[in-house]
């Protein structure tokens, strides 16, 4: 399709090609490299393949971009399929390669690639004796591909969460700019409800729960200037969704309830529950009893989690003496899959050194962390978050740097 575009055959716009295929060309080149390594190894077979996986797995985070783009690719395909030139081009291209599948069936293949590598390594291990020369490398590769899959799943969830917040941001009409996409904010659930504030008449609306705020919205938009939402989108540089929300899908913001304000939740039984914050009370009527129970459960868990995190934050703020290692990570900090948590190791070392300082010379660093990461990991860095006499600080150290922090003896 890109070749056709470069030849002047404008099947679709250049940006549509990008939305459809993301970084698939980079992934294709990467997998060709893996294939070449396997072919070379077969020609000089020495009974070992695990090291090839160990060398290439750290680079597989390039799949994050493709997987995050996959939903957009499918939506773009559905919209573009109504264009005759695009539909004809796809049909002819598939005939040329003798394919019986449509384009979406090919687009999902890179998404399935890493889980299939995991299955492949598991099957190889079943057929490999423990005393085989490649057994240990295959075990390490299986563990590493699992970590990579977990990392990619986490990144995908973060991406989907951000898209959901952006979607809500585009639907909610408000008289002031509404910023939902802030760090650490997670979407929990939303549902259609009837809302009564301070015993006023009920209005039909939507209750939206995140891990730190609740949004109470109504569906009657006659009193709000619709241009406000357009201005808000420009101010916040909201990423446009493929299909703009229909007028009937828009929600008018009534109230925002912050978890930090320590509101209370009361189960009224049946289909109702009550939110109380300060002098205000909202009575929420759900569509059925099952929905009411789901809301009670979700909000109770969210309140408990927020309270726990707040307590931890307060505890950290009260660290006003001595020296404490809060968190420490070691590895290539630019690649999440190549990083390990070494907090407990350093905390133990602080205790051994008297509890008020941490000193690590380069040779000791290799002894402490050398077996935690593959030797193929480059640019290893030690990052330490610590509190010293009430201040929280972060320091980073290269492999050859000496670590000296804490209440050091003069």
Q: What is the pLDDT of residues 138-192, one digit of tens each?
A: 999 999 999 999 999 999 999 999 899 988 988 888 877 678 888 788 999 999 9
336: which DSSP letter?
G
Distance CA 387, CA 327 (A): 10
pLDDT at 29: 95
Distance CA 1, CA 105 (A): 17
In percent, how much of the chain has pLDDT > 70? 87
The CATH code of domain 174-313 reads: 2.30.29.30
357 φ, ψ (degrees, to nearest 5): -155, 165
Indicate where the chain has its CATH 2.30.29.30 domain(s): 174-313
Distance CA 193, CA 162 (A): 24
Neighbours of 53 (CB within 10 A): 22
221: which DSSP letter?
-
Q: Answer yes or no: is pLDDT of 247 > 60.
A: no
Q: For the whole model, what pTM was predicted?
A: 0.63
Indicate where the chain has its CATH 1.20.900.10 domain(s): 2-162
Q: Answer yes or no: is pLDDT of 220 > 80.
A: no
Please give the angle made by the CA atoms of 339, 344 and 345, to the nearest 5 degrees: 80
Residue 231 — very low, low, confident or very high, per pLDDT cuts 50/70/90? very low
Q: Answer yes or no: is pLDDT of 317 > 60.
A: no
Contact 78, 104 (CB under 8 A): no
pLDDT at 8: 64
57: which DSSP letter?
G
Class of domain 2-162 as given by CATH: mainly alpha
In this structure, of 51-55, 203-207, 244-248, the range with the lowest mean pLDDT score is 244-248
Read off the pLDDT of residues 134-149 as tens digits, 9 standing for 90 and up.
999 999 999 999 999 9
Please give the angle made by the CA atoms of 97, 102 and 107, to the nearest 5 degrees: 95
């Amino acid at each position: 399709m890109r070749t056709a575009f470069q030849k002047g055959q404008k099947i679709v716009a250049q940006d549509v090609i990008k939305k459809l295929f993301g970084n698939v060309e980079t992934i294709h080149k990467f997998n060709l490299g893996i294939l070449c390594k396997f072919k070379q190894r077969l020609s000089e077979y020495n009974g070992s393949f695990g090291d090839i996986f160990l060398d290439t797995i750290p680079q597989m985070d390039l799949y994050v971009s493709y997987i995050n783009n996959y939903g957009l690719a499918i939506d773009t395909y559905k919209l573009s399929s109504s264009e005759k030139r695009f539909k004809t081009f796809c049909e002819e291209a598939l005939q040329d390669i003798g394919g019986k599948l449509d384009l979406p069936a090919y687009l999902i293949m890179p998404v399935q690639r890493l889980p299939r590598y995991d299955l492949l390594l598991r099957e190889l291990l079943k057929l490999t004796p423990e005393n085989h020369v490649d057994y240990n490398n295959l075990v390490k590769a299986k563990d590493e591909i699992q970590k990579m899959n977990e990392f990619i799943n986490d990144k995908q969830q973060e991406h989907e969460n951000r898209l959901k917040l952006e979607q809500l941001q585009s639907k909610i009409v408000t008289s002031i700019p509404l910023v939902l996409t802030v760090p650490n904010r997670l979407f929990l659930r939303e549902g259609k409800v009837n809302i009564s504030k301070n015993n006023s008449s009920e209005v039909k609306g939507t209750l939206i729960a995140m891990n730190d705020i609740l949004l109470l919205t109504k569906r009657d938009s006659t009193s709000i200037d619709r241009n406000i939402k357009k201005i808000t989108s420009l101010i916040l540089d909201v990423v446009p969704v493929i299909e703009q929300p229909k007028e009937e899908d828009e929600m008018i913001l009534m109230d925002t309830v912050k978890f930090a304000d320590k509101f209370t939740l009361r189960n009224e039984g049946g289909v109702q529950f009550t939110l109380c914050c300060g002098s205000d009370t909202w009575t929420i009527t759900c569509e059925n009893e099952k929905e009411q129970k789901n809301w009670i459960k979700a909000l109770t868990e969210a309140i408990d989690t927020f309270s726990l995190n707040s307590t931890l934050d307060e505890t950290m703020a009260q660290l006003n003496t001595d020296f404490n290692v809060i968190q420490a990570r070691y590895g290539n900090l630019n690649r999440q899959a190549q990083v390990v948590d070494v907090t407990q190791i350093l905390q133990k070392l602080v205790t051994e050194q008297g509890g008020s300082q941490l000193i690590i010379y380069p040779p000791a660093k290799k002894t402490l962390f050398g077996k935690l990461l593959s030797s193929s990991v480059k640019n290893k860095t030690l990052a330490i978050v610590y509190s010293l006499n009430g201040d929280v600080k972060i320091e980073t150290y290269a492999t050859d740097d000496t670590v000296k922090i804490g209440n050091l003896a003069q």
